[in-house]
Amino acid sequence: MIKKFIDKLLGKPGAAKSGKTVLGKRIEVGPAEHGIDPELLDERAVRVVKTLTEGGFEAYIVGGAVRDLLLGRRPKDFDVATNATPEQVKGLFRRAFIIGRRFRIVHVVYGRGREHEVIEVSTFRALLANESAEQVAGNEKTSKDELAGKSHVVDASGRVLRDNVWGPQIEDAARRDFTVNAMYYEPVKQMVVDYHGGLADAKKRVLRMIGDPETRYREDPVRIVRAVRFAAKLGFELEPKTRAPVKACAQLLANVPISRLFDEMIKLLQTGHSLASLEELRKQGLARGVFPILDAVLDEQGNLHAGARGQFVRRAFEDTDRRVAEGRSVAPSFMLACMLWHEVQSRWQRLREAGESPIPALQQAIDLVFDARIGDISGRGKLAADMREIWMMQPRFERRSGNGPYSLVDQPRYRAGFDFLLLRAEVGEVEMGLVDWWEDFALGSDEERRALIDEAREADKARRGSKVHQLPRGALSGQPPAAEAEEGAEPQAEGASAPAKKRRRRRKPASKAAPAQD
Compute how many other C-beta atoms are within 10 angstroms of the C-beta atom of residue 217. Answer: 25
Answer whether residue 436 is part of any domain: yes
What pLDDT shows up at residue 159?
Answer: 52
Answer whether residue 326 is part of any domain: yes
**Domain of 98, in residue numbers:** 2-204
What whole-number distance in Å separates Cα of residue 123 and Cα of residue 168?
Answer: 9
Compute how many other C-beta atoms are within 10 angstroms of the C-beta atom of residue 283. Answer: 16
Spell out where 155-297 has E strands: 160-163, 183-186, 191-194, 206-207, 237-238
Closest by CA to 89, choosing from 30, 61, 49, 116, is 49
* Catalytic site residue from 7, 77, 220, 367: 77
- Our answer to whether residue 177 is catalytic in this structure is yes
Answer whether residue 408 is part of any domain: yes
Answer whether residue 451 is part of any domain: yes
Helix (H) or strand (E) holding 154: strand 152-154
C-alpha pair distances (Å), 174 with each of 65, 136, 179, 238, 310: 18, 10, 9, 19, 42
Residues 219 and 346 in one domain: no
C-alpha pair distances (Å), 425 with each of 429, 487, 508: 5, 24, 19
Residues 98 and 76 in one domain: yes
Closest by CA to 496, choosing from 480, 482, 506, is 482
Provide the CA 79 distance to its chain's centre, in angstroms. Answer: 18
- Our answer to whether residue 518 is catalytic in this structure is no
What whole-number distance in Å separates Cα of residue 17 and Cα of residue 120?
Answer: 29
What pLDDT shows up at residue 513?
Answer: 41
Residues 126 and 50 in one domain: yes
Helix, strand and coil in the chain, % to nearest 5:
50, 10, 35
Total domains in the chain come to: 3
Residues 7 and 73 in one domain: yes
Given 273, 303, 333, the domain boundary residue is 303
What whole-number distance in Å separates Cα of residue 220 and Cα of residue 216?
Answer: 7
Handedness of CA 498, 397, 335, 345 (dihedral sign): negative
Given 256, 286, 303, the domain boundary residue is 303
Tens digits of pLDDT across the chain (518 residues) = 444 433 443 334 443 343 455 688 999 999 999 999 999 999 999 999 999 999 999 999 999 999 999 999 999 899 999 999 999 999 999 999 999 876 789 999 998 877 789 999 999 998 865 443 333 333 334 343 433 334 444 455 555 444 568 899 999 999 999 999 999 999 999 999 999 999 999 999 999 999 999 999 998 999 999 999 999 999 999 999 999 999 999 999 998 888 888 889 999 998 899 999 999 999 999 988 888 889 889 998 888 988 888 999 999 999 999 999 898 888 899 999 999 999 999 999 999 999 999 999 999 999 999 888 876 554 467 888 999 999 999 999 999 988 999 999 999 999 999 999 999 999 999 999 999 999 999 999 999 999 999 988 888 787 776 654 444 444 434 444 444 333 334 434 344 444 444 444 444 433 444 445 65
| φ/ψ of residue 257, rounded to 5 | -55, 140
Residues 285 and 227 in one domain: yes
What pLDDT shows up at residue 258?
Answer: 84
Residues 169 and 228 in one domain: no
Compute how many other C-beta atoms are within 10 angstroms of the C-beta atom of residue 491. Answer: 20
* Catalytic site residue from 42, 68, 79, 163: 79
Residues 256 and 165 in one domain: no
What whole-number distance in Å separates Cα of residue 296 and Cα of residue 310?
Answer: 10
Bridge partners (DSSP) listed for residue 118: 109
Task: Give 361-367's long-range contacts (Cβ < 8 A, gap of 24+).
Answer: 362/391, 362/392, 362/395, 363/392, 366/391, 366/392
Helix (H) or strand (E) holding 152: strand 152-154
Residue type, 246: V
Residues 165 and 214 in one domain: no
- Let me know: does 381 contact 509? Beta carbons within 8 Å: no
Residue type, 106: V
What pLDDT shows up at residue 458?
Answer: 86
What pLDDT shows up at residue 97?
Answer: 95
- Our answer to whether residue 212 is catalytic in this structure is no
Answer whether residue 512 is part of any domain: no
What whole-number distance in Å separates Cα of residue 172 and Cα of residue 280?
Answer: 29
What pLDDT shows up at residue 76?
Answer: 87
Answer whether residue 74 is part of any domain: yes
Given 303, 330, 354, the domain boundary residue is 303
Residues 32 and 103 in one domain: yes
What whole-number distance in Å separates Cα of residue 242 and Cα of residue 227?
Answer: 9
* Catalytic site residue from 42, 68, 163, 177: 177
DSSP output for 254-265: GGS-HHHHHHHH
DSSP output for 1-69: -HHHHHHHHHT-TTTEEETTEEE---EEE-HHHH---GGGS-HHHHHHHHHHHHTT--EEEETHHHHHH
Kindly report the CATH number assigned to the domain that includes residue 324.
1.10.3090.10
DSSP summary character for residue 84: S
What pLDDT shows up at residue 155?
Answer: 52
Kindly report the CATH number assigned to the domain that includes residue 139.
3.30.460.10
Answer whether residue 514 is part of any domain: no
- Let me know: does 58 contact 74? Beta carbons within 8 Å: no
What whole-number distance in Å separates Cα of residue 313 and Cα of residue 316?
Answer: 5
Residues 198 and 259 in one domain: no
Residues 483 and 344 in one domain: yes
Answer whether residue 259 is part of any domain: yes
Residues 269 and 163 in one domain: no
Contacts for 68 with CB less than 8 Å, ≥ 6 apart: 74, 75, 76
